């Protein structure tokens, strides 16, 4: 059973001050998890996790992670500014974008971020904007050489990255232009729970870097293995065994990298979901019960607050507060109020009998939850609240108001 470090009484206390719906994060859980990740990969020289800002773009969360030693993986101008405002600068920022506007490269260069180019044509594009920085990374798209999965799709169909041939050409160009420090990046997984997938990716990247460095007579400073580490959304899922992944990568590192010209190669990752996903949940109240051809539970959150179930049928576990141990002997669809029939948090879900006014905990919304929110149908994004280490709670983003929704409109000009 999924648990969260609070009880009904605590939630009721928060609700008296901050009405539902809201996302609630667990600072202690996030910090402990961050330390566990660093411990698992501590053998790697210069190991760094660049937290994928898009997963949870809240400065309070970024600051916690920065305090734990993480950098930021940004892919837009606002994300770069968010990192900057949080005090994350220089090589603690990795900028991995695609279809990049000039001003974004300009800002990334100004912050001295590590820039990860998505296409070979961006070498000239970037050079014109800011000149080439001293260290440059390319994003690799292995195409048919690597299988995908359901969420990320097949690499061959993905718009990202360089082909294998372009990598050789690209590094040759950089070398001719006097660049001496190089990185290589890939991102070929999404919510992947098979640990071998990450080991295989590392092996693929080590082999490729060895080949490139031989052919072009250059070396690499780091490899970035991307994000995509899965989390157990379903109660029966098992969390990824980081020690297993780490020891698999270590074996390959010792075999291929140790003693080669790439030694000591740094390894980076840029995980989002794995870091904060399990340490957030969406708290929502039951407004209505409806019995037609099916039984519906209508809540005060909608897919504007959590889009994953609506857009890709993602499973998010649901707990009815105070009924944790009651038998799940009812079958409900749990819905929001958006005028879209896929605004459902759960379909045919076995749950205990639910009454109007019950509080539901929709689990694992700490990554790609609030962040994906939108305003379709006049829906407003919810607040974010954090349960601090010492047990108090703090609002770290207020809920949007109708005035926020109207802020970009020109009523005066009517």
Ligand X SMILES: *Cc1c(COP(=O)(O)O)cnc(C)c1O
Residues 6 or more apart whose Cβ sits within 8 Å of residue 145: 155, 164, 204
E strand residue ranges, 97-252: 114-117, 135-140, 181-186, 222-224
Q: What is the Cα–Cα distance from 222 to 268, expressed in whole angstroms?
A: 7
Residue 411, burial from CB neighbour count under 10 angstroms (0-12, 13-18, 19+): exposed
Torsion of CA 98, 404, 11, 66, to 10 degrees: 40
Tell which one of 161, 170, 183, 228 touches ligand X (CB under 6 A). 228
- 55 versus 283: smaller Cβ distance to ligand X: 55
Tell which one of 209, 286, 367, 387 touches ligand X (CB under 6 A).
367
Position 369 contacts ligand X (CB under 6 A):
no
Q: Is 183 an interacting residue with respect to ligand X (CB under 6 A)?
A: no
Among the listed residues 187, 299, 301, 360, the single contact to ligand X using CB under 6 A: 187
Q: Could you give the 3-state DSSP secondary structure of residue 9?
A: helix
Peptide bond into 21 cis (omega under 30): yes
By the rule CB under 6 A, 186 interacts with ligand X? no
- Min dist CB 266 to ligand X, Å, is 17
Select the residue interacting with ligand X from 11, 14, 55, 385 (CB under 6 A): 55
- Nearest to residue 76, comparing CAs of 49, 50, 97? 97
| Min CB(310)–ligand X separation in Å | 18
Considering beta carbons, is residue 190 or 382 the nearer one to ligand X?
190
Residue 51 near ligand X by CB under 6 A: no
Active site residue 281: no
Instruction: Tell me which of 20, 86, 96, 305 binds ligand X, using CB under 6 A.
Output: 96
From the list 294, 365, 281, 298, the residue with the least C-alpha distance to 335 is 298
In whole angstroms, how close is the CB of 190 to ligand X at the nearest point?
Answer: 5
Which among 80-88, 185-193, 209-217, 244-252 is the span making contact with ligand X, rule CB under 6 A? 185-193
Q: Which stretch binds ligand X (CB under 6 A): 24-32, 183-191, 211-219, 244-252?
A: 183-191
Burial 359-374 (b: 16+ CB within 10 A, else e): bbbbbbbbbbbbbbbe
Distance CA 192, CA 74 (A): 21
Nearer to ligand X, 73 or 364 (CB): 73
Supply the minimum distance, in Å, between the C-beta of residue 198 and ligand X.
11
Tokens for 79? 């994300």
- Residues annotated as part of the active site: 339
Q: Which residues would be at the binding site for ligand X (CB under 6 A)?
A: 52, 54-55, 73, 96, 187, 190-191, 226-229, 270-273, 367
């Amino acid at each position: 059973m999924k648990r969260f470090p609070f009880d009904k009484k605590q939630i009721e206390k928060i609700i008296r001050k901050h009405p539902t719906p809201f996302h609630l994060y667990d600072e202690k859980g996030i910090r402990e998890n961050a330390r566990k990740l660093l411990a698992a990969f501590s053998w790697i020289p210069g190991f760094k996790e660049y937290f994928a800002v898009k997963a949870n773009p809240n400065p309070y969360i970024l600051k916690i992670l920065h305090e734990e030693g993480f950098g930021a993986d940004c892919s837009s101008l606002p994300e770069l500014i968010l990192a900057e405002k949080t005090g994350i600068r220089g090589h603690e920022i990795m900028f991995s974008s695609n279809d990049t506007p000039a001003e974004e490269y300009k800002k990334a260069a100004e912050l001295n971020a590590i820039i990860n180019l998505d296409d070979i044509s961006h070498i000239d594009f970037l050079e014109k904007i800011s000149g080439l920085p001293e260290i440059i990374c390319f994003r690799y798209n292995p195409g048919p050489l690597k299988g995908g999965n359901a969420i990320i799709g097949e690499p061959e169909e993905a718009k990202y990255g360089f082909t294998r041939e372009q990598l050789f050409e690209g590094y040759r160009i950089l070398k001719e232009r006097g660049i001496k420090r190089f990185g290589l990046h890939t991102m070929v997984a999404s919510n992947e729970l098979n640990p071998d997938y990450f080991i295989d990716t590392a092996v693929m990247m080590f082999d490729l870097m060895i080949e490139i460095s031989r052919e072009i007579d250059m070396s690499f400073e780091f490899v970035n293995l991307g994000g995509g580490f899965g989390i157990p959304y379903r109660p029966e899922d098992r969390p990824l065994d980081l020690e297993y992944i780490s020891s698999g990568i270590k074996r390959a590192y010792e075999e291929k990298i140790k003693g080669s010209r790439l030694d000591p190669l740094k390894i980076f990752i840029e995980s989002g979901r794995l870091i904060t996903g399990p340490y957030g949940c969406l708290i929502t109240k039951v407004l209505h019960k409806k019995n037609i051809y099916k039984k519906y539970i209508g809540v005060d959150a909608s897919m504007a607050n959590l889009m994953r179930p609506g857009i890709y049928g993602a499973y998010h576990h649901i707990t009815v507060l105070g009924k944790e141990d009651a038998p799940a002997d009812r079958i409900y669809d749990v819905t929001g109020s958006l005028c879209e029939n896929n605004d459902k948090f759960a379909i045919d879900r076995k749950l205990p009998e639910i009454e109007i006014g019950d509080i539901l905990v929709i689990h694992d919304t700490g990554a790609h939850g609030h962040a994906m929110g939108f305003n379709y149908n006049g829906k407003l994004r919810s607040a974010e609240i954090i349960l601090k280490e010492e047990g108090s709670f703090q609002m770290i983003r207020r809920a949007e108001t109708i005035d926020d929704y109207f802020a970009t409109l020109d009523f005066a000009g009517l």
